[in-house]
């Protein structure tokens, strides 16, 4: 039982990020369906974070009551910046990019996120890089491969790969993978800029957790501020279009509720907890799993067709990312070795002091008997 418990404890970060990727994959499918039905991406972002706030805030108020630090101007400034980077900039750009592309393509393009996060973490010294180290070389090579794979997916098309459940589908979004080159470039640029914003969000979240280590409260603040800021953006971009705010019990409503609970509320919280121990690069390294899930589901639900360029690019991205993950796993092992070495040195130092103290004995002459006795007086 002890071995099973230890195995579960070690595997918890992996289980959590895999669960997170399944949630994000479902969001891609539902969001694409809602956007296809005419939902405004600006309004979608507002409803998504309103739902997330309602879902997370009660838990944050109760569970974080004892550990929530005092709010300061510095912390609040970081919260405002966090809510702008991901809920407003990234999600709006991602949604617009999703309109130009397909769910599978958008999920695949997001695989450049770990590479961008790695570079930013390196710049802000959250990631250790030593050019002569094999693990650091692996992370750099994997980063380059990830970017190359994203470029292949964007620029290379190739023949359509026919699957028996997508044959005969003649819709605009399905033919030739649902994309023309112009839309692919526009969509990929928007998604790439969004990924830069998302990576900056991850780095800033890791930094903020050092001074505000209450993950649920941090999530609630991000969602609340994201709702307010997103509403301002939506009112500006959709001014004079009151109808876009209407929502019914349909796919649009389901997409907002699902994305709010799983992909904003739970996602921000889970990645915050994991980042405390493993860092932001580890959290983002599992993004390829979401791409695989989306590709499978969208081929069934949305009848999206695959082309050879997309498959080749995806393979290169996955290989590159898991080379990065291999380097991260080596980083995870090295600190433990260092930690083991420190107590050993301390123990040696203490033993040396004990030996010196034991040798510092004062010899006293007893005047009555003329014998010598020792008294142990340690300094």
Select the highest-mean-pLDDT range: 102-111, 138-147, 230-239. 230-239
Is the residue at 363 inside a domain? no
pLDDT at residue 302, as a whole number: 63
pLDDT in tens, 157-211: 778 776 655 555 544 444 444 456 788 788 888 988 999 999 999 999 999 999 9
pLDDT at residue 339, as a whole number: 37
How many angstroms separate the CA atoms of 218 and 208, rounded? 9
In the numeric block, which tokens belong to residue 35?
Answer: 């956007």
Helix runs in the chain, H state only = 2-36, 41-63, 73-83, 91-100, 103-109, 113-123, 134-155, 181-211, 215-237, 251-258, 267-278, 280-284, 287-301, 308-359
pLDDT at residue 374, as a whole number: 45
CB atoms within 10 A of CB 199: 26
The DSSP output letter for 378 is -
pLDDT at 242 over 60: yes
pLDDT at 154 over 90: no
DSSP string covering 291-348: HHHHHHHHHHHT-PPEEHHHHHHHHHHHHHHHHHHHHHHHHHHHHHHHHHHHHHHHHH
Is the residue at 300 inside a domain? yes
**Cα–Cα separations (whole angstroms), residue 154 to 104, 140, 340, 369:** 12, 22, 47, 99
Is the residue at 6 inside a domain? no
In the numeric block, which tokens belong to residue 349?
Answer: 């130092």
Is the residue at 350 inside a domain? no
pLDDT at residue 106, as a whole number: 79
- The whole-angstrom distance between residue 254's C-alpha and the CA centroid of its chain comes to 24
How many angstroms separate the CA atoms of 10 and 6, rounded? 6
Is the residue at 206 inside a domain? yes
Q: What is the mean pLDDT of residues 347-362?
A: 45
Q: How many domains does the chain have?
A: 1
pLDDT at 36 over 70: yes
pLDDT in tens, 274-301: 888 778 878 877 776 777 777 677 667 6
Residue, of 95 and 307, whose pLDDT is higher: 95
CB atoms within 10 A of CB 68: 16
Look at residue 68 and give its three-state secondary structure. coil
Is 41:230 a contact under the CB 8 Å cutoff? no
- The whole-angstrom distance between residue 294's C-alpha and the CA centroid of its chain comes to 17
In the numeric block, which tokens belong to residue 237?
Answer: 């971009």
- Rounded to the nearest integer, the mean pLDDT of the chain is 78
Domain that includes residue 91, residue range: 40-163+180-331
**Cα–Cα separations (whole angstroms), residue 256 to 43, 45, 89, 197, 269:** 10, 8, 17, 21, 18
How many angstroms separate the CA atoms of 306 and 86, rounded? 29
How many angstroms separate the CA atoms of 284 and 287, rounded? 6
Is the residue at 321 inside a domain? yes
pLDDT at residue 377, as a whole number: 44
pLDDT at residue 111, as a whole number: 74
The DSSP output letter for 364 is E
pLDDT at 371 over 70: no
pLDDT at residue 299, as a whole number: 66
**Cα–Cα separations (whole angstroms), residue 259 to 245, 251, 268:** 17, 12, 12
pLDDT at residue 363, as a whole number: 43
pLDDT at 219 over 80: yes
Q: What is the mean pLDDT of residues 144-162?
A: 76
Is the residue at 338 inside a domain? no
Look at residue 376 and give its three-state secondary structure. strand
- The whole-angstrom distance between residue 177's C-alpha and the CA centroid of its chain comes to 28
**Confidence band for 237, pLDDT divided at 50, 70 and 90:** very high
Of all residues in the chain, the percent with pLDDT exceeding 70 is 78
Is the residue at 126 inside a domain? yes
In the numeric block, which tokens belong to residue 195?
Answer: 């990924």
In the numeric block, which tokens belong to residue 187?
Answer: 């969509």
The phi and psi torsions of 157 (rounded to 5 degrees) equal -105, -70
pLDDT in tens, 59-108: 999 999 889 999 999 999 999 999 999 999 999 998 888 888 877 777 77
How many angstroms separate the CA atoms of 20 and 18, rounded? 5
How many angstroms separate the CA atoms of 229 and 280, rounded? 25
Residues forming a β-bridge with 306: 161
pLDDT at residue 48, as a whole number: 94
pTM of the model: 0.73
pLDDT at residue 303, as a whole number: 66
């Amino acid at each position: 039982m002890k071995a099973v418990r230890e195995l579960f404890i070690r595997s918890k970060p992996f289980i959590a990020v895999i669960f997170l990727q399944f949630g994000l994959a479902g969001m891609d499918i539902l969001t694409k369906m809602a956007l296809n039905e005419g939902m405004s991406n600006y309004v979608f972002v507002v409803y998504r974070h309103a739902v997330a706030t309602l879902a997370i805030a009660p838990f944050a108020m109760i569970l974080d009551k004892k550990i929530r630090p005092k709010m300061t101007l510095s912390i609040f400034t970081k919260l405002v910046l966090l809510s702008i980077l991901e809920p407003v900039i990234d999600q709006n750009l991602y949604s617009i990019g999703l309109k130009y592309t397909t769910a599978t393509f958008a999920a695949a393009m997001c695989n450049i996120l770990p590479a961008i996060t790695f570079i930013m973490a390196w710049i802000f010294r959250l990631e250790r890089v030593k050019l002569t180290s094999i693990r650091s070389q692996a992370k750099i090579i994997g980063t380059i491969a990830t970017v190359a794979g994203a470029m292949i997916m964007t620029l290379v098309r190739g023949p359509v790969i026919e699957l028996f459940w997508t044959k005969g589908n003649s819709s605009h979004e399905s033919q030739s993978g649902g994309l023309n080159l112009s839309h692919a470039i526009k969509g990929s640029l928007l998604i790439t800029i969004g990924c830069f914003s998302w990576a900056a969000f991850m780095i800033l979240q890791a930094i903020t957790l050092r001074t505000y280590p209450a993950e649920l409260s941090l999530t609630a603040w991000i969602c609340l501020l994201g709702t307010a800021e997103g509403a301002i953006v939506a009112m500006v971009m959709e001014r004079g279009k009151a109808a876009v705010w209407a929502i019914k019990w349909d796919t649009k409503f389901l997409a907002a509720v699902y994305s709010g609970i799983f992909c904003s509320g739970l996602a921000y919280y889970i990645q915050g907890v994991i980042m405390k121990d493993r860092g932001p690069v580890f959290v983002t390294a599992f993004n390829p799993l979401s791409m695989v899930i989306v590709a499978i589901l969208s081929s069934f639900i949305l009848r999206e067709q695959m082309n050879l360029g997309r498959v080749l690019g995806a393979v290169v991205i996955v290989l590159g990312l898991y080379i990065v993950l291999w380097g991260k796993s080596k980083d995870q092992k090295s600190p433990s070795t260092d930690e083991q070495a420190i107590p050993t040195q301390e123990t040696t130092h203490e033993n040396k002091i004990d030996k010196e103290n034991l040798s510092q004995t004062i010899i006293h002459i007893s005047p009555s008997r003329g014998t010598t006795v020792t008294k142990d007086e340690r300094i």
